[in-house]
Chain A
Amino acid sequence: MSGRLSFYRFSSPAAFYPLAGAIGKVSALIAVVLLAIGLYMSFFVAPTDYKQGEGYRIIFIHVPSAWMSMFIYLVMAFWAGIGLVFNTRLSSMMAQALAPTGAIMTFIALWTGAFWGKPMWGAWWVWDARLTSELILFFLYIGFIALQGSIDDTRRADRAGAVLLLVGVVNIPIIYFSVKWWNTLHQGATVSVTEGSSMSTIMLQAMLIMTFAFWAYSVAVAMYRVRSIILEREKDTRWVSELPEVRR
């Protein structure tokens, strides 16, 4: 019995591997269905905005991706904290599995923010408090991925990444607050990206569905990626060599 009690039945990679596959399939299905409904509502059900015309439809992917980019970072920090405290390698793998998806979500938020800013304020990049914080969050993701990538010993990579995430998660509110203070001081309250148009219920519903679709997508991708990470790390174990997918 290992010195430290591992009290999740699924904390061993061998037990979690098939479960991750199942969750991956289910959430992939949910993602596809919700995306279809969400897109349909975004384009055909939601009315044209009286002020921003059709351009505002970008909101249906900008806001969900922005929310997801923040949510994934918090989930990563949660798993990293668990991995550091309880020394369960699987939770560190989860954090590593979520990182690329989080970075992509942040990039999507920035990209769609710029493509929305151009028609609305005439500039591809607006130093709006939220967009700026999103940019800094993107640097935090890239920093985490770069740190994990440059350390060979997986154990050290996990724990170093965990410390960076925990330090990052403490700094996020400070960063957001300081950027907001800096933004309002220099430019006065510019129209921030989302408050522009009043949200009718249909628009809100469409956005919520899209958000759940993005959430399901992230879970699916993370589950499949964590399976690959488990395969890479447990390649010498007996249970991996007996997997049906491994061709003799």
Chain B
Amino acid sequence: MLEVVNLQCTRGDRCLFSGIGFTVGEGELLYLYGHNGSGKTTLMRTLCGLVAPTDGEVCWKDLPIRKQRDEYAAELLYLGHKNGLKDDLTGVENLLVACRLAGVSVKEDKAWSVLERMGLRGHEDLPARVLSQGQQKRVALARLLLSEAPLWVLDEPFVGLDVAAVALLEAVLAEHVARGGMVVLTTHQEVALTSGKVKKLRLGWKEDGCV
């Protein structure tokens, strides 16, 4: 269970947000809304431990993530704006490296079938730089199908996806939540969930969001 207590972040000397508190339990999906520059991405990166908050605490299973960096990383999957793909590696190689780095042992044929399911049939062994933005996003999202991490933190996952990919991603998210997984998501799009609880959090609604 992810718990955030009185979180505050400043960028340079500008206070992005403060006093943020929420929890995400098993089978729950949290939407993060906010206008541009409201600190959505910074909050997502703070949840993952990439950014150190200026105040407050992020806890995973009742323990601050600062104190359990490696254990927390094993149970977390973060997809940011950048896809994290190497241009010179093929889709399959990128997927295999990403999964094994995250501690998931994957055989090559499993990777091929996952990429196929993500609609990349015939493009699996092309270098990533040749693929379109949408296709690269699909390769990055393919990790969701192979990941064993209960907590997913996804920053704008729907951006650049066509209708078919959006539907596919919605199904994957719904299935993950149904299995008792947790998702934190920034998007401007509703996700139809089959089961589990949906929470919403708006950022920046107070004029400067600061104490």
Contacts and interface: CB of A to CB of B under 8 A. Distances in A.
Say if the two chains contact directly (CB < 8 Å): yes
A153 B14 CA distance: 10
Contacts of B13: 154, 233, 235-236
Contacts of B160: none
B12 A3 contact: no
B42 to A, nearest CB: 12
B57 interface: yes
A153 B57 contact: no
Interface string B1-36: 000000000111100000000000000000000000
A98 to B, nearest CB: 22
Interface in B61-80: 64
Interface in A148-164: 152-155
A187 interface: no
Contact of A154 (B12, B56, B57): B12
A2 interface: yes
B12 A153 contact: yes
Looking at chain B's contact residues, the main secondary structure is: strand
Interface string A1-14: 01100000000000
* Most chain B beta-carbon contacts within 10 A, residue among A2, A87, A154: A2
Contacts of B64: 3
B11 A3 contact: no
Give the bracket for the number of chain B residues in contact with chain A: 10 to 19
Contacts of A2: 55
A154 B52 CA distance: 14
A90 to B, nearest CB: 14
Contact of A152 (B12, B52, B53, B55): B12
A179 to B, nearest CB: 38
A153 B51 CA distance: 13
Nearest to B52: A87
Contact of B11 (A153, A233, A236): A153
Interface in A200-238: 233, 235-236
A122 to B, nearest CB: 54
A2 B55 CA distance: 6
A182 B57 CA distance: 51
Contacts of A3: 53, 55-57, 64
Contacts of B57: 3
Nearest to A3: B57
A241 B10 CA distance: 20
Interface string A69-92: 000000000000000000100000
Interface string A110-126: 00000000000000000
Contacts of A236: 13
17 contacts: A2-B55, A3-B53, A3-B55, A3-B56, A3-B57, A3-B64, A87-B52, A152-B12, A153-B11, A153-B12, A154-B12, A154-B13, A155-B10, A155-B12, A233-B13, A235-B13, A236-B13
